């Protein structure tokens, strides 16, 4: 059983889209419990009838649209996100799920927890679809650069998560602009030297961005700026390709006929590549399990983030991560 704290005010869609998906999720999973945090007025019509494993905690305060992470660290607004964090910190919930933007989630993590010194700043861990099975990739946007020591911390975080579900050492690679040993920033090359002798992993050297999605790796390590750019570019390329195919197949009767047959054949494969099914990134580096949902997430995608919250709670990801990070120091 997992208990989640869920903020439904974040993201582009807010309560009208997120709350029904939360209610549906917990209605189908009575073994789990959820604490929903939202604005009283915006949520009141949607929470009149909740399943017994959900509790709504309302507030009459909203975060100012222009609030910065620095302001959120210094001031208390009694918002739904802050209240959800309090629920997590008090131990009433084992994980928090929110579609609020990364900066605010990190700010509240700094307010309530201490980031492990091996990384100094929380990182975003995400699951990326490949042609075979999803791999774990970090950092995907919580940092702009990384030292060699921080790259090792990232590797320890990924190893802690991936090894929990594997019987063989995870295959790990560092994302770089080439596979040659002399390529890339010095910090990356120094980290590579260390990782080559690490126990518990199969170090596969450097990997280029176009090879990330081949399905031959379990874990890819990079800095947040590069990782975020790679993932956003991949999502855009997938959207471009699928839209071009849809346009061609809907252009005339021949295309529509062909699309009818191809759709049946390709649907399972395309469904496995749906980014919504892999939504939910772990903000890792402290004792608090916080899952960042994509801001554009619809109901289906937000349920995937709820799944990540359950997995983080039941898998004890944060304690495992901290144990692995201790070994890096």
pLDDT of 73 > 90? The answer is no
Q: What is the DSSP string of 135-189?
A: EEEE-SSS-S---HHHHHHHHHHHHHHHGGG-SSPPEEEEE-S-SSTT-S-HHHH
Listed in sequence order, the residues at least 6 apart from 101 whose beta carbon sits closer than 8 Å to its beta carbon are 10, 295
pLDDT of 255 > 90? The answer is no
- The dotted CATH code for 130-273 is 3.40.718.10
pLDDT of residue 64: 86
Instruction: Supply the DSSP symbol for 208.
Output: -
pLDDT of residue 258: 72
Q: CA-based angle 14:232:275, to the nearest 5?
A: 60
253-272 and 224-249 helices, crossing angle to 10°: 150
Distances (CA, A) of 126 to 46, 50, 109, 132, 306: 30, 30, 18, 16, 14
Q: How confident is the model at residue 19 (pLDDT cuts 50, 70, 90)?
A: very high
Cα–Cα distance between 63 and 79 in angstroms, integer? Answer: 6
Q: Which residue has the higher pLDDT, 22 or 65?
A: 22
Q: What is the mean pLDDT of the chain?
A: 90
pLDDT of residue 4: 98
pLDDT of residue 105: 95
pTM of the predicted protein model: 0.91
Give mean pLDDT, residues 59-67: 88
pLDDT of 262 > 80? The answer is no
Distances (CA, A) of 294 to 127, 175, 267, 285, 302: 13, 23, 24, 19, 8
pLDDT of 309 > 80? The answer is yes
pLDDT of residue 18: 93
pLDDT of 270 > 80? The answer is no
Instruction: Specify which residues 290 forms β-bridges with.
Output: 96, 283
pLDDT tens string 109-144: 999 999 999 998 999 999 998 888 889 999 898 888
- Do 130-273 and 1-124+275-324 fall under one CATH topology? yes
Give mean pLDDT, residues 86-102: 95
Q: How confident is the model at residue 278 (pLDDT cuts 50, 70, 90)?
A: confident
Give mean pLDDT, residues 6-17: 89
Structural contact between residues 125 and 142, judged by C-beta atoms closer than 8 angstroms: no
pLDDT of residue 12: 84
pLDDT of 244 > 90? The answer is no
CB atoms within 10 A of CB 193: 10
Domain ranges for the chain? 1-124+275-324, 130-273
Q: Give the tokens for residue 209.
A: 């961005």
Nearest to 278 by CA among 253, 298, 305: 305
Cα–Cα distance between 312 and 63 in angstroms, integer? Answer: 27
pLDDT of 51 > 90? The answer is yes
pLDDT of 21 > 90? The answer is yes
Q: How confident is the model at residue 93 (pLDDT cuts 50, 70, 90)?
A: very high
Cα–Cα distance between 28 and 203 in angstroms, integer? Answer: 41
pLDDT of residue 70: 86
Say which range, 48-62, 74-88, 253-267, has the weakest mean pLDDT. 253-267
pLDDT of residue 314: 95
CATH of 1-124+275-324, one of 3.40.1390.30, 3.40.1190.10, 3.40.718.10, 2.40.50.140: 3.40.718.10
pLDDT of residue 5: 97
Coil, strand, or helix at residue 33?
Answer: strand
């Amino acid at each position: 059983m997992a208990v989640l704290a869920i903020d439904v005010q974040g993201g582009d869609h807010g309560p009208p889209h997120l709350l029904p998906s939360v209610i549906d999720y917990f209605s189908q999973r009575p073994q789990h419990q959820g604490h929903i945090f939202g604005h009283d007025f915006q949520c009141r019509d949607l929470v009149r009838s909740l399943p017994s494993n959900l509790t709504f905690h309302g507030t009459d305060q909203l975060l100012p649209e222009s609030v910065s992470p620095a302001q959120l660290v210094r001031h208390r607004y009694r918002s739904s996100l802050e209240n959800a964090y309090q629920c997590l910190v008090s131990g009433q919930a084992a994980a928090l799920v929110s579609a609020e933007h990364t900066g605010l989630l990190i700010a509240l993590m700094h307010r309530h927890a201490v980031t492990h010194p091996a990384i100094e700043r929380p990182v975003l861990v995400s699951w990326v679809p490949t042609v075979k099975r999803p791999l774990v990739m970090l950092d995907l946007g919580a940092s702009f650069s990384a030292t060699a020591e921080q790259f090792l911390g990232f590797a320890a975080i990924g190893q802690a998560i991936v090894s929990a579900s594997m019987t063989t050492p995870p295959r790990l690679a560092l994302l770089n602009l080439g596979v040659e040993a002399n390529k890339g920033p010095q910090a990356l090359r120094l980290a590579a030297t260390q990782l080559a002798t690490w126990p518990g992993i199969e170090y596969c050297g450097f990997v280029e961005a176009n090879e990330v999605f081949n399905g031959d790796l379990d874990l890819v390590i990079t800095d947040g700026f590069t990782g975020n750019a790679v993932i956003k570019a991949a999502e855009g390329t997938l959207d471009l390709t699928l839209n071009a195919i849809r346009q061609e197949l809907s252009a005339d009767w021949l295309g529509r006929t062909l699309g009818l047959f191809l759709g049946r054949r390709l649907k399972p494969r395309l469904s496995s590549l749906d980014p919504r099914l892999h939504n939910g990134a772990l903000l890792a580096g402290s004792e608090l399990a916080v899952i960042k949902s994509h801001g554009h997430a619809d109901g289906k995608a937000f349920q995937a983030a709820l799944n990540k919250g359950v997995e983080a709670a039941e898998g004890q990801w944060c304690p495992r991560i901290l144990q692995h990070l201790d070994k890096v120091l």
